Structure 1
């Protein structure tokens, strides 16, 4: 079953806030309580856990868009405080609690239960080849409780899309930090203002921008050229195309129902909480 690109992209917009509640305060506090030193320890422990005791080099390769050395500040240190299995369970509990808190009465609604079921059908139906993080998540048990089940499904769909996105970046010769610069520009920000890279040494970030400028993707004042904007749009479109097979299992009316069911849930999640 083939669905329109617009619907595939709409699913991305809806699952993103649901999946990323995992980076909000409640899960963060849970990781700090078991010995994590800071937010990023919990981030890497929770997100990398489905890969098992993978080295920093492997996590860096799979996550793709962190600067050299960033992963190694946390992996494998975190595995001296928590096992991957414990991190998976902690992340799920904390994320479900955060989502439940954010959406209020929607947590117990029939609409959420139906959305969780439909999203899960999609989330476990996509091919795993070439998608390491998605494959690791697919090996985990599916939660039975509806809110946890919905968060888990959204996370699967997000990481499935993310693995595909990384493949598209590689195919276009865009490195991880370069991808963040392009994202910043797409959001109308300067590279040094973007949250994921603003902490990098100025000379290091300037070198990345200079490299994009040399390729004709960024102009003299650090904004998109027409070529830069075109490649960013092409990458996003191809990413959506690679994400689409996850939804082939759903009939058109089921995907429409899923979108309608997710919209009030996603809208209830505060934008600044993750």
Structure 2
């Protein structure tokens, strides 16, 4: 049901592009990358990977990018854990990276103010957040290391593609994204 609804919404957003040979090619490249990614330690990716790959190109593309997103997300979670960052802490740090106060961020705004203050205090005591609620140099460097590790952990999914195929995939996805706006 979720797949059908998502594919239908994507089809509606991109119009005529949905039936194009270019979309079929992008779906094929994305699927090759998505199903080749390592599943070890990636519970969300592995769960999605266990589902059948759809035949219809738009549904196949949606499925492939979902797999790639979950693969990257699982790697991001591993990078956070490797840097000693927990769930609420990661949301606080993300809010700060957006220039927001944590209590304004939609993923955690519902938490009690005292709980958020304790998380910020903990991040501050670790030298990641300054008194004004922004990143310290150490906090900024930690975030950059986490993002770099996330990129590194996501990269093996694309090893199955040649450099030209990867460029073709990126260009095709950019075209599809532009059509959806």
Q: Give the alignment's TM-score, normalised by structure 2.
A: 0.96
The root-mean-square deviation of aligned C-alpha atoms, in Å, is 1.1
Partner of 2:86: 175
CA displacement, residues 217-248 of structure 1 (integer Å, 9 cap, x when unaligned) = 11111111111111001100100000000000
In structure 2, which of residues 31, 38, 47 is the aligned counterpart of residue 127 of structure 1? Answer: 38
Partner of 1:215: 126
CA displacement, residues 99-132 of structure 1 (integer Å, 9 cap, x when unaligned) = 1122222212211111000000000001111111
Partner of 2:74: 163
Partner of 2:96: 185
Partner of 2:5: 94
- Counterparts in 2 of 1:152 and 1:181: CA distance versus 1, 3 Å: same
Whole-Å Cα distance in 2 between the matches of residues 124 and 224 of structure 1? 37
Q: 1:188, CA displacement in angstroms?
A: 1.6
Number of aligned positions between the proteins: 181
3-state SS, counterpart of residue 168 of structure 2: helix
Give yes or no for the alignment of 1:250 onto 2:161. Answer: yes
Over 6 Å off, 4+ runs: none
Give yes or no for the alignment of 1:136 onto 2:136. Answer: no
Gaps of 5+ in 2: none
3-state SS, counterpart of residue 134 of structure 2: coil
CA displacement, residues 72-108 of structure 1 (integer Å, 9 cap, x when unaligned) = xxxxxxxxxxxxxxxxxx1101111111122222212
Give yes or no for the alignment of 1:106 onto 2:17. Answer: yes
Give yes or no for the alignment of 1:205 onto 2:116. Answer: yes
Whole-Å Cα distance in 2 between the matches of residues 91 and 177 of structure 1? 28
- Counterparts in 2 of 1:269 and 1:206: CA distance versus 1, 3 Å: farther
Q: 1:249, CA displacement in angstroms?
A: 0.3
- 1:56-67, aligned counterparts within 5 Å? none
Q: 1:201, CA displacement in angstroms?
A: 1.4
